[in-house]
């Protein structure tokens, strides 16, 4: 259900952009989605199609850029990609702390169809 709520928010942002530019239709939307959000591209498109029905965003193709989760090492200060089943820094072995990298969820760009 989390994914549904997230997609709903995204549809709103895309439709706001369409309204702001007086576009009747949205061709595509480019999203940045962090790994931590648990979003699955296929199911996101499915929710999107469902939620966007009857709005300018209907029929738009979603392009997702998935951002891998990063941790930060408090000892040596580097960012690293979290190893599976571990939080240890690959350089020094200290326990990493979470960062915001991997929590992203936003619309980077939309392609609109504008009649003139």
Site membership for Zn ion, residue 19 (CB under 5 A)? no
Give the shortest CB-35-to-Zn ion separation in angstroms: 21
Could you tell me if 60 and 23 are in contact, meaning their C-beta atoms sit under 8 angstroms apart? no
| DSSP single-letter state for residue 35 | G
Site membership for Zn ion, residue 71 (CB under 5 A)? no
Give the shortest CB-97-to-Zn ion separation in angstroms: 11
Site membership for Zn ion, residue 61 (CB under 5 A)? no
Pick from 19, 50, 61, 91: which binds Zn ion (CB under 5 A)?
A: 91
Could you tell me if 7 and 51 are in contact, meaning their C-beta atoms sit under 8 angstroms apart? yes
Candidate segments 9-17, 27-35, 62-70, 87-95, binder of Zn ion by CB under 5 A: 87-95
**Beta-strand relationship, 25-34 and 61-67:** parallel
CA distance 105 to 68: 12
Which pair of tokens denotes residue 101?
A: 């990298």
Residues that bind Zn ion (CB under 5 A): 73, 75-76, 89, 91-92, 94
């Amino acid at each position: 259900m989390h994914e549904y709520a997230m997609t709903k928010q995204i549809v709103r942002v895309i439709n706001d952009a369409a309204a702001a530019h007086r576009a009747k239709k949205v061709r595509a939307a480019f999203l940045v989605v962090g790994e931590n959000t648990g979003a699955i591209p296929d199911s996101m498109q499915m929710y999107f199609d469902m939620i966007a029905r009857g709005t300018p965003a209907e029929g738009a193709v979603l392009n997702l850029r998935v951002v891998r989760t990063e941790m930060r090492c408090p000892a040596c200060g580097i960012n690293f990609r979290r190893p599976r089943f571990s939080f240890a820094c690959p350089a020094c072995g200290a326990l990493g702390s979470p960062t915001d990298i991997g929590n992203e969820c936003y619309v980077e760009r939309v392609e609109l169809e504008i009649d003139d």
